Amino acid sequence: MTKPAITLPLLFILLTLIDISSCASTVFNVVSFGAKPDGATDSTAAFLKAWQGACASAASATVVVPTGTFLLKAVTFRGPCKSRLQFQVTGTVVAPTDYRAFGNSGSWILFANVNKISLVGGTFDARASGFWSCRKSGQNCPPGVRSISFNSVNDVIISGVKSMNSQVTHVTVNRCTNVVIRNVRLVAPGNSPNTDGFDIQSSTGITLTGSTIQTGDDCVAIGPGTRNFLISKLACGPGHGVSIGSLGKELKEDGVENVTVSSSVFTGTQNGVRIKSWARPSTGFVKNVFFQDLIMKNVENPIIIDQNYCPSHQGCPTEPSGVKISQVTYKNIQGTSATQQAMKLMCSKSNPCTGITLQDIKLTFNKVTPATSLCSNALGTSLGVIQPTSCLNR
Ligand SMILES: *[C@@H]1O[C@H](CO)[C@@H](O)[C@H](O)[C@H]1NC(C)=O
């Protein structure tokens, strides 16, 4: 058979060529607006001018940050813009090393009220070691800034981006819809305080795939109002794992629904997959969650639900958590636990967890001592081999 065929890679190249020729996007290079790739000159005004040009462009536009190191202070890239925007970074963007430069801005780089935006490539280094030292020494420090934030942004692609040394969270997604995140690396030392990887809340339709997070706090923190969030092919560690929560801090709070974490590896993390709520009354809930095909390597709490969260035992009433957890499936989770108690399902006394499914779990502690499990107020069913033995109540 010598049928001439257009192979898939060839087809892809052809389509890419067509794409480039037909959607020539207007380019706004930050250097043309006065940015200096010397790592020392403040390029904030130039970045803003390039953004404003792109944002006002009737045709699809690209802000280009070329090779070199650009110093950027706290900045907001605000919409609405006229058409689809791309923010394409080849170089490195660095923050001022003096953390006091941020004041109370909350964010270093903020995208707000934009629709249809892609952030592609680049390294964003917040250079926060001075800030962490301040925090660790117990001085009076500013609250810290998130490195890259998306607020009220719809149709977002974040691809090939690296964030390093954030003061606090690397990337936040707040009140957004339809967000695709792929091939992203978030890196900070394992002992850096409060450096969450992703913080997601009040957002719907998020995909996070093929990414690596090595940081000092949660790799991914999933907050109130998160719906339809798919995480796959994540490498997490060091860090505190993937956490739904903390939830239920507020009395009136939105829930979390439809979260899947699959085909991911946790290495040396504090937690694997965690659901965490304050020991306070709340209208919050968690439902339809799938944790599947996960590998745990020396993880302190591979599987954990903790509804008794009350840091320093302060500000939490003695009531149980009002957050209602239901329909949570743990399937094909294997590997090693760094503590004997590999599975802890500690649910609320007033709102027991219901519809928990355990299927094909194999977690070991060490060669001599088997791993154990601990449940309270956790109702559900087990299928297949469960090791440590299931402690669920029917
Ligand atoms: C959650 O997933 C279910 C099943 O796929 C779907 O029917 C439901 O609409 C989803 N919830 C939301 C809020 O989109």
Q: Which long-range contacts (CB under 8 A, 24 or more apart) does 364-367 make?
A: 364/335, 364/336, 364/337, 365/336, 365/337, 365/339, 365/340
Expressed in angstroms and rounded, the spacing between residue 177 Cα and the centre of ligand 1 is 14
User: Mind listing the pLDDT tens digit of every residue in the chain (394 residues)?
Assistant: 444 455 555 545 444 444 444 456 899 999 999 999 999 999 999 999 999 999 999 999 999 999 999 999 999 999 999 999 999 999 999 999 999 999 888 999 999 999 999 999 999 999 999 999 999 998 899 999 999 999 999 999 999 999 999 999 999 999 999 999 999 999 999 999 999 999 999 999 999 999 999 999 999 999 999 999 999 999 999 999 999 999 999 999 999 999 999 999 999 999 999 999 999 999 999 999 999 999 999 999 999 999 999 988 887 877 899 999 999 999 999 999 999 999 999 999 999 999 999 999 999 999 999 999 999 999 999 999 999 999 999 8
Our mutation pick for probing the ligand 1 site, out of 256, 257, 258, 328, counting the most ligand atoms within 8 A of Cβ, is 258
List ligand 1's pocket residues with C-beta within 6 A.
227-228, 257-258, 288
pLDDT in tens, 347-380: 999 999 999 999 999 999 999 999 999 999 999 9
Question: 68-90 burial string, b = 16+ CB within 10 Å, else e?
Answer: bbbbbbbbebbbebebbbbbbbe
Annotated catalytic residue within 84, 135, 146, 240: 240
Question: DSSP readout, 256-308?
Answer: EEEEEEEEEEEES-SEEEEEEEESS--S-EEEEEEEEEEEEEEESEEEEEEEE
Expressed in angstroms and rounded, the spacing between residue 293 Cα and the centre of ligand 1 is 22
Nearest-atom number in ligand 1 for the CA of 227 is 13
pLDDT in tens, 277-336: 999 999 999 999 999 999 999 999 999 999 999 988 887 877 899 999 999 999 999 999
* CA atoms of 193 and 141, how far apart (whole Å): 13
Q: Give the closest residue (by CA) to ligand 1 atom 8.
A: 258
Q: Are 348 and 277 in contact (CB under 8 A)?
A: yes
Expressed in angstroms and rounded, the spacing between residue 288 Cα and the centre of ligand 1 is 9
pLDDT at position 316? 85
* CA atoms of 394 and 391, how far apart (whole Å): 10
173 contact partners, CB below 8 Å, separation of at least 6: 149, 150, 156, 179, 198, 199, 200, 201, 203, 206
Is 240 noted as a catalytic residue in this protein?
yes
